[in-house]
Amino acid sequence: MKILVLNAGSSSQKTCLYEIAGEIPEQAPKPVWEAKVDWSHHQGFAEIEIKTANSEKLLLEEIPGDSHSSVMAHLLDTLTSGSTQVIGELSEIDIVGHRVVHGGQDYSESVVITQSVKEVIARLSTLAPAHNPANLEGIEAIEKHLGNITQIAVFDTAFHSSLPDAAAIYPGPYEWVDEGIRRYGFHGISHQYCAQRAAQILGQDLASLKLITCHLGNGCSLAAISGGVSIDTTMGFTPLDGLMMGSRSGAVDPSILIHLLREKDYSVDKLDNLLNKASGLSGISGVSSDMRQITEAIAQGNTRAQLALDIYIHRLRSYIGAMLASLFGLDALVFTAGVGENSPRIRQAACEAFPFLGIKIDNTRNTSNPVDVDIADRDSKVRVLVVHTQEDWAIATECWRLR
Ligand code: ADP
């Protein structure tokens, strides 16, 4: 079975092709072909990087085009021709899976895409203006080029549809409940995958585990997962809530916004830009949203970079505490995504706050580029795992399930 997966962001898109012979494997195989498209560098142009599994062939090019449709046509061409060819005909693709960021209250599970599903995704664009329109463009580009093929939407919000009301409903006016103003939570595909993978690594039944999964990438969120079910999470109505992130503030006192609107005459767009693009690690440090550059700047004595890191760690620890309180206990703390997978310093700093829970990291394991392993000390009372998140594979497995 050949499964094409599209993971579209506001200015970039990952696309990959999985080939499954026989039963679905328990662990993620390498995609046979993968492409990254980046629109952020050069306006009107798409920067494309393509890799195939067998040859590690790399195609790097920049093509004109800012529409998903023209870029998708080009990507599909590279599947069937040239140095990156992996299939003979596009008709060999059986199914296409899409990561869709916002499924609102409409979807608690992945669905086969129909006209009415597309209408809901479009309606929910007001809640995820940077993502849902891009997701929809990806779906329509596939329709245009692959015709009537089955397409599946896998929602980043779906895993958190199990949040109990006490965690999901904001303590504002009751009308918000009817208006759909509530905590949705995001990164659900990653949190769910990591929980399942954690159970595999621990050799335990997911139903018996209490986990906190820490997705620390450009966007950051935590999930409290009990028995495989999300019961609390840090992102909220939008992906701006909760932890400090690369360029997003995370939670701030809402009165700061009222103050800026009232006293400084800020426009809505300016506030939006401020909180989503000019805050977080980038806003505080003035250096970068990238944790690697923050660490380098700290090594050179940059005090604002140090402050940014200190706030990031403070927030991470306090939200881990919040998730702990929802879980009434903890079997494993799981780190994933760019920072979570690659920064021993952040993992160490997060765990340092909880020695009274018996959390103890093994320093050698923590600093030996761990992938899908337990880095806790042998006598730690809580396991600490590093899991390589595989969102694209998780989407492919949903396609397999719904095929
Ligand atoms: P996204 O949320 O866009 O999928 P990723 O999960 O790829 O992002 O995470 C990107 C972030 O991971 C980068 O901004 C960078 O800060 C961080 N990162 C990647 N490699 C390292 C590293 N070796 N050490 C610390 N941070 C890293």
Residue of the CA atom closest to atom 14 of ligand 1? 290
Which pLDDT belongs to residue 152?
Answer: 98
Q: 342 CB less than 6 Å from ligand 1?
A: yes
Residue of the CA atom closest to atom 19 of ligand 1? 338
Q: 401 CB less than 6 Å from ligand 1?
A: no
Which residues are CB-neighbours of 348 under 8 A, at least 6 positions away?
361, 363, 366
How many angstroms is it from 344 CA to the middle of ligand 1?
13
Between the CA atoms of 337, 342, 345 and 349, what dihedral angle is there, to the nearest 10 degrees?
A: 20
How many angstroms is it from 81 CA to the middle of ligand 1?
33
User: Around 226, how many Cα atoms within 13 Å sit in the side-chain half-sphere?
Assistant: 14
Which pLDDT belongs to residue 55?
Answer: 73
Handedness of CA 304, 130, 214, 36 (dihedral sign): negative
3-state secondary structure 283-301: HHHCCCCCHHHHHHHHHCC
Instruction: State the pTM of this model.
Output: 0.95
Which residues are CB-neighbours of 278 under 8 A, at least 6 positions away?
247
User: Domains in the chain, start-ordered, CATH in brackets?
Assistant: 2-155 (3.30.420.40), 204-386 (3.30.420.40)
pLDDT in tens, the chain (403 residues): 999 999 987 678 899 999 999 889 988 999 999 999 988 777 788 889 999 987 766 778 888 876 778 888 889 999 999 888 999 999 999 999 999 999 999 999 999 999 999 999 999 998 888 889 989 999 999 999 999 999 999 999 999 999 999 999 999 999 999 999 999 999 999 999 999 999 999 999 999 999 999 999 999 999 999 999 999 999 999 999 999 999 999 999 999 999 999 999 999 999 999 999 999 999 999 999 999 999 999 999 999 999 999 999 999 999 999 999 999 999 999 999 999 999 999 999 999 999 999 999 999 999 999 999 999 999 999 999 999 999 999 999 999 999 8
Which pLDDT belongs to residue 56?
Answer: 65
Handedness of CA 214, 220, 225, 229 (dihedral sign): negative
**Has 392 been annotated as catalytic?**
no
Cα–Cα nearest to 191, from 239, 230, 236: 230
Q: 245 CB less than 6 Å from ligand 1?
A: no
Between the CA atoms of 225, 399, 36 and 184, what dihedral angle is there, to the nearest 10 degrees?
A: -40
